[in-house]
A and B are shown apart, each in its own frame.
Chain A
Amino acid sequence: MKRRKYSDLVTSVLAYSILFGIATPLLALILDSLDHTFFTTAWLHFSDWKLFLNTVLFSLVAISVSVLIAVPSAYVLSTFPGYKGKLLGLVLIAPMMMPSYVYALLWQQVLQLLDLPSEGVWIAFFVEVLVRLPLLLMAALIGLASIPRPLLEAGQIFIHPVSYLFRVIFPLIRSYLFAGLSLSLLFSVNDYALPSVFMRHTYTLEIFARYSAVGKGGESFLYALPLIVLSALLVYILLRLVPKLSAGKQGNLGYTVAFTGPIGFDIYKIFAVAVTLLQFIVPVAAVFFLIIKSPVNLFTISDMQSLQFSLILSFLSILAVFPLAWFMAEYLYRSASSMIWMILLFLFALPSSMIGSGTILFWGWTGIDFVYGHWPLLLFGYIVKLFPLFTMLIYLSIKNSDSTLWNAALLYRHGPGLWLRVRLFLIWPGIVIAFLLGLSMTLSEIVLSLLLAPAGTTSIGIRIFNYLHYGAVDQVAYLICIVMLSALVWGGGLYLLLTGHKSGREEV
């Protein structure tokens, strides 16, 4: 008993140490912000609140439209027999790996080619709907896979097809949709690069502009607080839905039954599928077209150095954050500490510019020269950025995994081997998703690289962004292609590695 208490104490101390170590940029910002009187004046400015509400409302409406497209598309995909539907679904969610501003720019290029308007609120809305579609499609596909087939078939017997979609399908997968909606809204309100392509002003852009104008991390942190609070709330909602995501996990891994309805309904389904195909075909085709029509030797030595630097740093940051996040996720699964969740939520919602300035502030105070001004500073910045996301995804995976298998394994074996040879493979979905998202985030990250990369290095994200603004779209296409291929190769390799061992879940 004493031994267990001692062990629990050590685990708690370690968990809080990791958390506070990673949260040091946030602490530095809070301390820095105590100097300012901005707090008393910021909240009185009406236009700031108006911009904040506009930003949130815009994203909410765009994502709601995406949901209305994603669900029927997911249903149609799930009617394909065998692995065709899954493969097609996987392909259609691939644009998730593309940075949102590159996606937006490719669409802008196509619109300009067709002599259509390529700026303004409505175009921004259109592209926002498309860019959030892959994540929602993935949520809907996973949701549909979790519904027992007999339940789906039964729902069709007595109900009109339109009602079947909105009164049976939607409610059954609503938890997954809400999870997808929360994540999409989180990414959308914090995205400033995509709106800037279409000249749309957002609260996040304003934070960046104010930071640029003021240059004080603490003051900008205070200004960013409404966004941070909203983001934290969204993540909290996402986590609250986890028990419901586990329900109905009997698993319907076969195909679902196709349903048809009145002509209007069929047109709606066809339209949804067409939009889903369009969000994939247009930008990917634009990438290949730009590559093909460009001269050879597009990839310069400088690009090679940037890619090497970015890939290595992404790889190292993911490797570094993974054990920390896994440890934290296991600790949260056992002890459910509200304080830790609160700090994690705030860290998750912190904009990159704040992480960067907080990191510089903190490491500047320490005066540790090996880190400050060198690549470990950027590595630390990436770890801070990735840690909350990794922790949450692994936590969700743990909650979703089969606890009876784990308990059975605990009876016969103990020690590190158990964790690496059993637990790791039980929670593989969260690891693979975290890895892919982490790779995508670090490779497309601009602000952190700008603020923290050591002199003499340029990350691939910055190169891509600069090429965009120099109008070298073909160079961008080439680099994006390589980035996406790298991510898919690594992600696919990890997937094969982890699913080469049985996860222990029987397919129904």
Chain B
Amino acid sequence: MEFSWSDEHLSLRRSVIEFARAELNDSVRERDRDSVFSWNGWRKCADFGIHGLPIPTEYGGLGRDLLTTALVLESLGYACHDRGLVFSIGAHLLSCAMPLLAFGTEEQKRRYLPRLSTGQTVGVHAITEPEVGSDAFSLRTTAVRNGDRYVLNGRKTFITNGSIADLILVFATTARAAGPFAVTAFLVEKGAPGFSVGSSIEKMGLRSSPMAELVFDDCEVPAANRLGREGQGRIIFSHSMELERSCLLAADIGVMQRQLEQCVAYAKQRKQFGRPIGQFQSVSNRIAEMQLRLEAARLLLYKAAWLKSRNLPAAAEAAMAKLFVSEASVQSSLDAIRIHGGNGYTTEFEFERQLRDAVGGTIYSGTNDIQKLIIARSLGL
């Protein structure tokens, strides 16, 4: 068992941190306040290579493994204060590009992966509907075969990157009576007839990551744009969910690391009753618990990422990682606020935004209630 990173990994982490600190932290509070996506940040990250990190070089990527991808996302979370930007990049990569890589035809991969790898095409994953959330395979968007095309009808909601989407991995049913067995995935391009972007959705957190409804109104999709077989959508969706749960929240690990360092520094310098507040047990205990939670979260996430990087089964591990990291991230943000007292409650110190961002992690990629169900099922319950 090996718990250390290679020199190459450590060098990459330093590079990402230096890049993020220098290039990605302008006007973060304003973008959060106004729900503005950072195209400048998106392009800079793409130029740095993040969008194509795990995509093979033959498709324009850098050919790195998922473990390295998770490390890069953690580093971004540590040094980039715009959690919404990092979330948008992670969703684009893990929920659109990676499923395409795993299940696409050679023609589909050559057509879309190079532009996804460079960030020129914004990828989106669309399954949730107004009436369908956790029970994902009861979706109502239909896909009817008509010669060499499918015609899609339905509405998707809570779609990350929805309002800036260029390529949508959308899930529809080819036979509602067959339930999960007829869920099928399609690649829909922005200009497809019958496709439109609906209302933008304002959120509690991750506000600089765009979210919108997507509308499919007799939307025509070439049969060649079906991803995988008819009825394989359930497997494609499960694949992307395991990737998200194993890697996407690595950025939260980075945020928690930064919060811990800030809290330690504050506890050493802030004095009350004549001494640093870190000398009071109520403060030092809280920081000790932050450290403990962070280390446990890191181990769970990287074990799941390690399994996925070796194409090993990881449903339970990914669920545990997602559940624990997201809950830890919320608690870490609350602790950071409490340790900083009144300062922690202000927007200037940014912990309140981090808390709002962290709450989303308990919901996306499958709610934490669903993660507990997956874990219990893995135990035969």
Physical interaction between A and B? no
